[in-house]
């Protein structure tokens, strides 16, 4: 009788111990980023690159992801001889929820707060200058995570909204990442 009662208690304790084991992974990613809204009227499509640290418990659908990224855009409608670009050096702290565990692929959704240092740089060949500001916002999106043995791959699309004085800076990064 005691063994029958101890077996379920032992199983619960083992499951709780396994659930407490966080598994970290690092992802390096890059891709295209499309400016939207007010930013889309002034900027060309650009590129983005970054790294992420994921923490998750194997038996749970929720995890945490910290990301750092750099994006760069060209400006539209510049006079001849003038070069200018805009950049976004940002950090995201996201919750990640796996929707379903399939054999080789896991679709997920993600969202969380963002912080960006937005910078505008310009030069006419003789004079150059730049201005930067830090602002908070949010990001939300989803993707597919593929298990490829010890190295995984991730396809991700987001909407990023940064509040700036008198408006917003919005973009849609589309990335491919490799997880280690």
More confident residue, 116 or 19: 116
The DSSP symbol for 58 reads T
Name the residue range of residue 171's domain. Answer: 33-179
pLDDT score at 21: 61
CA distance linking residue 138 with residue 32, whole number of Å: 19
Does residue 133 belong to any structural domain of this protein? Answer: yes
Assessment of whether the complete model's pTM goes beyond 0.95 = no
Report how far residue 39's alpha carbon sits from residue 42's, in angstroms, rounded to the nearest whole number. 5
d(CA 37, CA 17): 47
Q: Look at residue 24 and tell me if it is in a domain.
A: no
Residue 16 in domain: no
- Does the pLDDT value for residue 100 go beyond 70? yes
Q: Which two tokens stand for residue 74?
A: 């060209």
Q: How far is CA 7 from the centre of its chain?
A: 43
Does residue 73 belong to any structural domain of this protein? yes
Residue 16 has pLDDT above 70, yes or no: no
What total of structural domains would you count in the chain? 1
In a domain, 104, yes or no: yes
Structural domain contains residue 145:
yes
**pLDDT bucket at 101, cuts 50 / 70 / 90:** confident
| Cβ contact 78:124 at 8 Å | no
What does the pLDDT read at residue 10? 45
Strand partners, 163: 168
pLDDT in tens, 146-160: 987 788 999 999 999
Least confident of 4-18, 94-108, 140-154: 4-18
* Spatial separation of the C-alpha atoms in residues 138 and 151, rounded to whole Å: 29
Give the Å distances, CA to CA, from 146 to 22, 46, 76, 152.
19, 26, 37, 6
pLDDT grade, residue 3 (50/70/90)?
A: low
- Burial environment of residue 98 by CB neighbours within 10 A (0 to 12, 13 to 18, 19 or more): middle
Residue 7: phi and psi, rounded to 5, are -60, -50
CATH of the domain at 124: 2.40.160.20
Residue 95 structure tokens:
């919750």
Better pLDDT: 29 or 81: 29
pLDDT band (50, 70, 90) for residue 19: very low
Domain-embedded: residue 27? no
**Angle CA 42–155–62, to nearest 5:** 110
**130 inside domain:** yes
């Amino acid at each position: 009788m005691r063994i029958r009662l101890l077996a379920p208690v032992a199983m619960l304790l083992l499951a709780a111990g396994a659930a407490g084991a966080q598994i970290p992974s690092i992802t390096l990613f890059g891709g295209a980023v499309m400016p939207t809204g007010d930013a889309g009227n002034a900027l060309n499509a650009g590129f983005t690159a970054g790294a992420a640290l994921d923490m998750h418990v194997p038996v749970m659908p929720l995890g945490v992801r910290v990301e750092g990224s750099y994006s760069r855009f060209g400006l539209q409608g510049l006079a001849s001889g003038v070069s200018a670009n805009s950049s976004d050096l940002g950090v995201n702290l996201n919750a990640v929820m796996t929707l379903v565990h399939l054999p080789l692929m896991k679709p997920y959704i993600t969202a969380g707060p963002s912080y960006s240092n937005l910078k505008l740089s310009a030069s006419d060949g003789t004079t150059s200058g730049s201005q930067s500001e830090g602002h908070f916002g949010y990001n939300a999106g989803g993707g597919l995570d593929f298990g490829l043995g010890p190295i995984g791959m991730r396809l991700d699309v987001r909407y990023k909204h940064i509040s700036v004085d008198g408006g917003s800076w919005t973009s849609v990064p589309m990335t491919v990442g490799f997880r280690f």
